[in-house]
Chains A and B, each alone.
Chain A
C-alpha cells in the first residue's frame, strides 16, 4: 500500500548531538513537509519542498536542516543548534492541486 513512513517512532538524543529523522513516501508526490508539534499546540512548519533538490524554510527553520535528493525522501536533521528539540515531528506529502495531503505517523524526539 502507498503511504508515508517515518522512522524512528521514538528517539532519544543527548544534548549536543545531531539526529536525523527519516521520511519516505511511495505516493509519487512532489511536495513534502516537516512539522513540529509541542504538547497541546498546533503544527508549526519547519521546512517544505516542492520538487527534488529544492526546499524552503518554514516558520521555525532555525536549528534544523533538510535535503531532497530523491523524490521519495525528505530527511530532517535536528542539529545541536536547536535549543529545545524535544517534540513530536510530523512529515506530510502532497501531489498537487485538488489532491489529498498524506501524513506519516510521526516521530517523538526526546533530548536527555
Chain B
C-alpha cells in the first residue's frame, strides 16, 4: 500500500520569507499524481498545487512551487514571500491511477506565519 510521510508536524516562517515543507511517499507504481492541499481553520480543503508523476518539470502556481524528485520519492512544497493568509495545515497527498484511484494523505504540517 502507498504511504505518505510528512516529517514536520509544525513549521513557522516570517512574513515575506520562504519556507519549504517536506513530503516523501512510498510506491511501486509509475503512474500517479501528487498534491499539496491547504486546510485553514474552517476545515475547507483547498488545492494548492499538483504534479503528474510522468512530468519531469516541477509544477509552479504563483508563490507556490514543488521540488519533485521521483527517484527519491520526494515532493516538497516551497512557499515564497509568505503571507499571513498562508497560515494553515498543509497536507501532501498521493493518488494512484492504477490502484482504483485511491487517494492517500500524509499527517499534515501546521504552518504558522509570523508578522
| A interface residues, Cβ below 8 angstroms from B | 31, 33, 35, 37, 40-45, 48, 50, 56, 58, 88, 90, 92, 94, 96-98, 100-101, 103, 105-106
Q: Flag whether B107 is at the interface (Cβ < 8 A).
A: yes
A88 to chain B, nearest CB (A): 6
A27 to chain B, nearest CB (A): 14
| B interface residues, Cβ below 8 angstroms from A | 6, 33, 35, 43-45, 47, 50, 52, 91, 95, 97, 100-108, 110
Contact of B95 among A43, A90, A101 (CB under 8 A): A101
Knowing A42-B91, A48-B100, A56-B100, the reply to whether A103 touches B105 (Cβ < 8 A) is: no
A37 to chain B, nearest CB (A): 8
Chain B positions within 8 Å of A88 at CB level: 43
Bound: A40/B109 CA distance, A: 9
Bound: A106/B35 CA distance, A: 20
Contact of B107 among A35, A42, A90 (CB under 8 A): A42
A110 to chain B, nearest CB (A): 15
Bound: A97/B43 CA distance, A: 25
Bound: A41/B43 CA distance, A: 12
